[in-house]
Amino acid sequence: MIQLLSDRRGSRAWKIEGPKGTVAVKANNPDGDGARDKAAEMAQEDDHLVRLTAAGAISPDYRVSAGVWEGGRWLAVNWIEGVPLWRALALARGPEGD
């Protein structure tokens, strides 16, 4: 099963369920409304996950993979049930959603 979770601010995220488990996949959308340079942000996000794993702060099983495609970058992590981080941090954002 593939479920689109988010399509906003230049990126898309999906929940993908397969025979080996469930993952969240995020990719930049360079042609989307209000698209910014999400590819660079996603590279930074991936770098943080790699560093947190190396420091022992997160499980090495969390980050599944990451890479590039003709339109930018993508990142896959193991799915964790709960409230989406965007919603969980809603009170900390300003009126523009930043």
> What residue ranges do the domains of the chain occupy?
2-92
pLDDT of residue 32: 65
Give the model's pLDDT for residue 90: 80
Q: What is the pLDDT of residue 35?
A: 57
Exposed e or buried b per residue across 49-85, where buried means at least 16 C-beta atoms within 10 angstroms of its C-beta: beeeeeeeebeeeebeebeeeeebbbbbbeeeeeeee
Please tell me the predicted confidence (pLDDT) of residue 17. 97
Residues of the chain below pLDDT 50:
none
Q: In terms of CATH, what superfamily is 2-92?
A: Phosphorylase Kinase; domain 1 (3.30.200.20)
pTM above the 0.75 mark? Answer: yes
- Give the pLDDT of residue 34: 53
